[in-house]
Structure formats: structure tokens, C-alpha cells
Chains A and B, each alone.
Chain A
Amino acid sequence: DADVTQTPRNRITKTGKRIMLECSQTKGHDRMYWYRQDPGLGLRLIYYSFDVKDINKGEISDGYSVSRQAQAKFSLSLESAIPNQTALYFCATSDNRQGAYEQYFGPGTRLTVT
């Protein structure tokens, strides 16, 4: 089974709709992240969380919100989706307690806003 899972894997929604992307991990990592990937722009950080009570804005948080329901779950919400939020969204985790700072990514969610 995958260590970092994302649901849904693909989603098409309409402008103005609320949508939630979910991320779960079984790696036991304390830190979780949400990124979006756009062609030619690489990955950009939306939000990150160091533990359940810690939420931080990333580079492009406008139009997004997050919830860390448990150590293993981190959800990303688009309150009112707009077409320029069409992108590939990745969740990632890391475990800095072990002195290893690499992030491990989920399979991605492809979101299309029409």
C-alpha cells in the first residue's frame, strides 16, 4: 500500500463550487505539505503543517484553506473554485525528527475547474 495517498485522483468541478482534496499518510511523519504544479512553473507551496496545531501559509495560499484533522490527515479546500486553480495538486510528508528532511509525495490529484 502507498505510504501517502490522495483522494480523489482526478476531479472536474465548476467555477464557484467548493471542493476538498484529502491526503492521508501511514509513514508516521509529523510534517505535511500541499503543493500545486503548473506546466513550466514547477511546484509551489500552498500550505504546510508541522503538527496538528500548527498551520502555515506557503507561497500561494490565497483562495485555499487547510485542515489538519490528525497527524496522518491533511485536507486542502478550495472554497469557491476558479479556472486558474486548474492544476496538479500534491501532498507531501517529511520526518525531520530523524534528521532527514526529504519530502515524500503522494500520487497527485488532477483538478480541472471549468
Chain B
Amino acid sequence: AQKVTQAQTEISVVEKEDVTLDCVYETRDTTYYLFWYKQPPSGELVFLIRRNSFDEQNEISGRYSWNFQKSTSSFNFTITASQVVDSAVYFCALSERGGSEKLVFGKGTKLTVNP
């Protein structure tokens, strides 16, 4: 069965600090997809990134970067030089079988960036 664990329930940092959000997943499939979503205080869910199981290249998008390591079943998310607007709940999610079915979400990590 698929499972996503986000061990960090809450993280608090000061603006401009770097912060890494951890995500560990479990799956029996060889083909799967990993995702990160952001849920700001306004409540909507914003898609950030998708990573395929056969592509272990790390990705950088502005201040955001993602480190995918199949050897440790981890897909960690780093925010560099955090800003107050990064304050949100971040969810990691997993989809098996080519993404044809459901997303299984972790319980989320609440990030607070203080000025």
C-alpha cells in the first residue's frame, strides 16, 4: 500500500533562513509520481511540482528546490531565503500506476516564516 510520511508537523523560521521540508514515501510500484502542494492561509491548494519515479534529477525553481532520492524513498523540498509569503501548509503526495488513480497525501507540514 502507498503511504506518505511528513514527520515535521510544524516548522517555524525567521525570514531569510533556508528551510527543508521532509517527505518519505512507501510504494510497491516501480512507476509512481510524487507531488508537492502548498495550502496558504486562504485555504486553496496550489500545485507546486510533479516528479516521475524514473527521473531522479533534482529540480530548482527560483527559491524552491526539490531533492528526489529513490534510495531513501524521499522527496524533500527546500525553500531558500524564506519569506513571510511562504507561510503555509505544505503537502507531499504520491500517485501510483502512472498517476491513473488517487493521490495519497501526507498529513502536511505547517511552515511559519516570521519577519
Proximity string of chain B (77-115) to chain A, C-beta cutoff 8 Å, 1 when within and 0 when not: 000000000000001000100111111111110000000
- State which of A11-19, A42-50, A75-83 sits at the interface with chain B: A42-50
Contact A102 B101 (CB under 8 A): no
- The CA-CA distance from A94 to B103 in the complex, in Å, is 11
Residue in B37, B99, B106 whose beta carbon sits within 8 Å of that of A94 in the complex = B99
- The CA-CA distance from A107 to B105 in the complex, in Å, is 18
Q: Which residues of A contact B101 (CB under 8 A)?
A: 48
Contact B108 A42 (CB under 8 A): yes
**Number of A residues with CB within 8 Å of any CB on chain B:** 24
Q: Which residues of A contact B107 (CB under 8 A)?
A: 40-42
Q: A42-B105, A94-B99 are in contact. Are A100 and B45 (CB under 8 A)?
A: no
A114 within 8 Å of B by Cβ? Answer: no
Interface of A is mostly: strand
* Inter-chain contact total with CB atoms closer than 8 Å: 55
A74 within 8 Å of B by Cβ? Answer: no
Q: How far is the CB of B89 from chain A (nearest CB, A)?
A: 9
A58 within 8 Å of B by Cβ? Answer: yes
Proximity string of chain A (84-114) to chain B, C-beta cutoff 8 Å, 1 when within and 0 when not: 0000101010101000111111011000000
- The CA-CA distance from A58 to B99 in the complex, in Å, is 15
Contact B102 A90 (CB under 8 A): no
- The CA-CA distance from A40 to B109 in the complex, in Å, is 9
Q: Which residues of A contact B99 (CB under 8 A)?
A: 94, 96, 101-102
Contact B103 A107 (CB under 8 A): no
Most buried by A among B50, B95, B102, B105: B102
Contact B35 A90 (CB under 8 A): no
Most buried by A among B47, B50, B99: B99
Q: Which residues of chain B have a CB within 8 Å of any CB of chain A?
A: 9, 33, 35, 37, 43-45, 47, 50, 91, 95, 98-108
Q: Which residues of chain A have a CB within 8 Å of any CB of chain B?
A: 33, 40-45, 48, 50, 58-59, 88, 90, 92, 94, 96, 100-105, 107-108
10 tightest A-B CB contacts, nearest first:
A101-B99, A105-B45, A42-B105, A42-B107, A43-B105, A45-B102, A102-B50, A102-B47, A101-B33, A107-B44
